[in-house]
Amino acid sequence: MPPKEQKSKEQKAKAAMHSSKGKKKKWSKGKTKEKVNNMVKFDQPTWDKMLVEVPKMKMITPSILVDRLRVNGSLARATIAHLENEGKIRPICKHSAQLIYTRATNV
Protein backbone atom coordinates (compact mmCIF):
# COMPACT_ATOMS: atom_id res chain seq x y z
CA MET A 1 0.00 0.00 0.00
CA PRO A 2 1.50 3.33 -0.97
CA PRO A 3 2.03 5.91 1.79
CA LYS A 4 -0.71 8.52 2.24
CA GLU A 5 -0.05 12.04 1.06
CA GLN A 6 0.42 14.58 3.83
CA LYS A 7 -2.16 17.37 3.83
CA SER A 8 -1.31 20.91 4.76
CA LYS A 9 -2.85 22.54 7.85
CA GLU A 10 -5.26 24.53 5.70
CA GLN A 11 -6.39 21.43 3.85
CA LYS A 12 -6.94 19.57 7.15
CA ALA A 13 -8.94 22.46 8.61
CA LYS A 14 -11.04 22.72 5.45
CA ALA A 15 -11.71 18.96 5.48
CA ALA A 16 -12.73 19.14 9.15
CA MET A 17 -15.15 21.97 8.45
CA HIS A 18 -16.81 20.09 5.60
CA SER A 19 -16.90 16.65 7.24
CA SER A 20 -20.35 15.27 7.75
CA LYS A 21 -19.95 12.89 10.67
CA GLY A 22 -23.52 13.59 11.72
CA LYS A 23 -25.99 16.35 11.90
CA LYS A 24 -26.23 18.59 14.92
CA LYS A 25 -28.57 17.22 17.59
CA LYS A 26 -31.94 18.87 17.56
CA TRP A 27 -33.55 19.23 20.97
CA SER A 28 -37.08 18.00 21.35
CA LYS A 29 -39.71 20.53 22.33
CA GLY A 30 -40.65 18.33 25.29
CA LYS A 31 -44.01 16.85 26.08
CA THR A 32 -46.62 19.55 26.38
CA LYS A 33 -49.71 18.84 28.44
CA GLU A 34 -52.97 19.50 26.70
CA LYS A 35 -54.71 22.57 28.11
CA VAL A 36 -58.11 21.76 29.56
CA ASN A 37 -60.82 24.37 29.39
CA ASN A 38 -62.80 23.78 32.59
CA MET A 39 -65.83 25.84 33.52
CA VAL A 40 -65.59 28.47 36.26
CA LYS A 41 -69.37 28.69 36.70
CA PHE A 42 -72.06 26.07 36.39
CA ASP A 43 -74.38 26.25 33.42
CA GLN A 44 -77.86 24.79 33.83
CA PRO A 45 -77.27 21.39 32.15
CA THR A 46 -74.11 20.79 34.18
CA TRP A 47 -75.83 21.85 37.42
CA ASP A 48 -78.69 19.41 36.76
CA LYS A 49 -76.21 16.65 35.89
CA MET A 50 -74.33 17.34 39.12
CA LEU A 51 -77.50 17.17 41.25
CA VAL A 52 -78.45 13.81 39.71
CA GLU A 53 -75.10 12.00 39.34
CA VAL A 54 -72.89 13.13 42.21
CA PRO A 55 -75.06 11.91 45.14
CA LYS A 56 -75.08 8.44 43.52
CA MET A 57 -71.28 8.12 43.26
CA LYS A 58 -69.53 5.76 45.68
CA MET A 59 -66.47 7.98 46.08
CA ILE A 60 -66.64 11.74 45.68
CA THR A 61 -63.52 13.92 45.60
CA PRO A 62 -62.82 17.31 44.03
CA SER A 63 -60.53 15.67 41.47
CA ILE A 64 -63.27 13.25 40.38
CA LEU A 65 -65.74 16.13 39.95
CA VAL A 66 -63.17 18.12 37.96
CA ASP A 67 -62.63 15.15 35.67
CA ARG A 68 -66.27 14.17 35.14
CA LEU A 69 -68.06 17.54 35.17
CA ARG A 70 -65.28 19.62 33.55
CA VAL A 71 -65.36 22.28 36.27
CA ASN A 72 -62.37 23.87 37.99
CA GLY A 73 -61.13 22.76 41.41
CA SER A 74 -62.57 25.59 43.50
CA LEU A 75 -66.01 25.03 41.97
CA ALA A 76 -65.73 21.30 42.70
CA ARG A 77 -64.91 22.01 46.38
CA ALA A 78 -67.83 24.45 46.64
CA THR A 79 -70.12 21.82 45.07
CA ILE A 80 -69.05 19.24 47.63
CA ALA A 81 -69.70 21.69 50.48
CA HIS A 82 -73.15 22.48 49.05
CA LEU A 83 -74.11 18.79 48.77
CA GLU A 84 -72.82 18.09 52.28
CA ASN A 85 -74.94 20.90 53.72
CA GLU A 86 -77.99 19.46 51.96
CA GLY A 87 -77.19 16.03 53.43
CA LYS A 88 -76.84 14.29 50.06
CA ILE A 89 -73.27 13.16 50.70
CA ARG A 90 -71.30 12.37 53.86
CA PRO A 91 -67.60 12.83 54.63
CA ILE A 92 -65.18 9.94 54.98
CA CYS A 93 -61.98 11.95 55.39
CA LYS A 94 -61.71 15.73 55.69
CA HIS A 95 -58.05 16.45 55.14
CA SER A 96 -56.90 19.90 54.07
CA ALA A 97 -55.34 18.53 50.89
CA GLN A 98 -57.95 15.96 49.84
CA LEU A 99 -61.63 15.76 50.71
CA ILE A 100 -63.13 12.28 50.40
CA TYR A 101 -66.90 11.82 50.54
CA THR A 102 -69.40 9.10 49.78
CA ARG A 103 -73.10 8.99 49.07
CA ALA A 104 -75.39 9.45 52.06
CA THR A 105 -77.03 6.22 53.11
CA ASN A 106 -79.73 5.92 55.73
CA VAL A 107 -77.90 4.44 58.68
Q: Is 22 exposed, middle or buried (0-12, 13-18, 19+ CB in 10 A)?
A: exposed
SS3 percent helix, strand, coil of the chain, rounded to 5, is 40, 15, 45
Query: Do residues 40 and 75 lie in contact, with contact meaning Cβ atoms separated by under 8 Å?
Result: yes
What are 58-76's pLDDT values in tens digits?
Answer: 999 999 999 999 999 999 9
What's this model's pTM, rounded to 2 decimal places? 0.66
Residue 65's pLDDT is 94
Rounded to whole angstroms, what are the CA distances from 52 to 32, 45, 46, 61, 76? 35, 11, 10, 16, 15
Q: Give the pLDDT score at 25.
A: 74
User: Residue ranges of the chain with pLDDT lower than 50?
Assistant: none
Say if CB 49 and CB 69 are below 8 A apart: yes
